[in-house]
Amino acid sequence: MSSHVRHITIDCSDAYGLGAFWAQVLDAPLSDEDSPGDPEALVEAHGAAILFVRVEDPKQTKNRVHLDIQPQDRSRDEEVERLLALGATLVGDHRRPNGRGWVTLADPEGNEFCVECSAAERAALTGTRLPVTADDVTSAVRLAVDALAGAPADRWDTPAGSLTWTCWETVEHLSDDLFAYAAQLGPRTPPLDHDVPYRWAPDREGGPHNAVFADRTAGTAGLLATLEASGALLASMARTTPPGVRSYHGYGISDPEGFAAMGVVETLVHTYDLAEGLGLEWSPSPALCDRVLARLFPDAPAGGDRWTVLLWATGRAELPGHPRRTSWRWDGRPLEDQTASSAG
């Protein structure tokens, strides 16, 4: 048995007022149950809720525990300026040009907290590779589901692009891939020489070998619900599995980031296949394409449109100056293992 952190609790003089400040900092709502003057106020922040509790004693010394925050849609410097405008005060500036370091601020009651660069900003400043994350899996799957939700109802039994599977079967295959990658990370001791032994079989001769099938009577909404559910499973496993864990894949023993990247690639390119069959537009984020290329296709050309390069790497498009791929595979091994293999 284990315990879980329910809240991060901060003592203060004005629980609702300080909670309102932090709600703006974190772009998170205050609980509907809280009102001005209440002795408690809860900010329902992503990841960990923050509970502010009114106490009589004023703050007297530096906090022994503090929050570190990372802006996700702006730079560290822009975030510092925003927070100062909200009412924070500057305590110390420890920024470094390479993205390391932090700025220490204090909230309106003097509680210190620090602002750091996001992983994306730090990677841009240092020229390092930005990892593929569980959030990338969630983003890719949700974008795919939103795009596919607009498909005509009478097109789901047509072939998915150049595949021999129907569009319905291709979504089932994609759901199955995401589920299988999550399952590989599930056992306490993940296998290094085989898949977790679910039974995979086709629903018809020539169809994909799946363990996951959608109930046809649930319609397109049910089909897409299975896709989103499988994506959520993979995102959860990628987020919670320690990075040192390794598990089997036919294209190389991989780690949680590798399985997340595989899930993203499967989602992006199979949605491309589906968009062709369903008559939809589909063009994912170049930055996301770049991250999965760097993780799984380290030999892919560095320049050019990253979505086109990913389509070329997976045998789906021409790329000027490079022969079209008639067969392909990614390298799922962690990059340090790929480097060691190349050096050896």
Tens digits of pLDDT across the chain (344 residues): 578 888 999 999 999 999 999 999 999 999 999 999 999 999 998 878 999 999 998 888 888 899 999 998 899 999 999 999 999 999 999 998 888 899 999 999 999 999 999 888 888 888 788 899 999 999 999 999 999 999 999 999 999 999 999 999 999 999 999 999 999 999 999 999 999 999 999 999 999 999 999 999 999 999 999 999 999 999 999 999 999 999 999 999 999 999 999 999 999 999 999 999 999 999 999 999 999 999 999 999 988 999 999 999 999 999 999 999 999 999 999 988 876 554 44
pLDDT tens digits, 273-288: 999 999 999 999 999 9
Give 85-107 as a 3 state SS string.
Answer: HHCCEEEEECCCCCCCCCEEEEC
pLDDT confidence of residue 343: 43
Q: How far apart are CA 64 and CA 44, in angstroms?
A: 23
pLDDT confidence of residue 99: 85
Helices (H), 116-209: 119-126, 134-148, 167-184
Identify the three-state secondary structure at position 145.
Answer: helix
* Token pair of 297 as six digits: 């296709």
Using alpha carbons, select from 114, 103, 220, 208 the residue that is nearest to residue 165: 208
pLDDT confidence of residue 340: 55
pLDDT confidence of residue 270: 98
DSSP label of 149 = T
Q: How far apart are CA 3 and CA 24, in angstroms?
A: 29
pLDDT tens digits, 177-194: 999 999 999 999 999 999
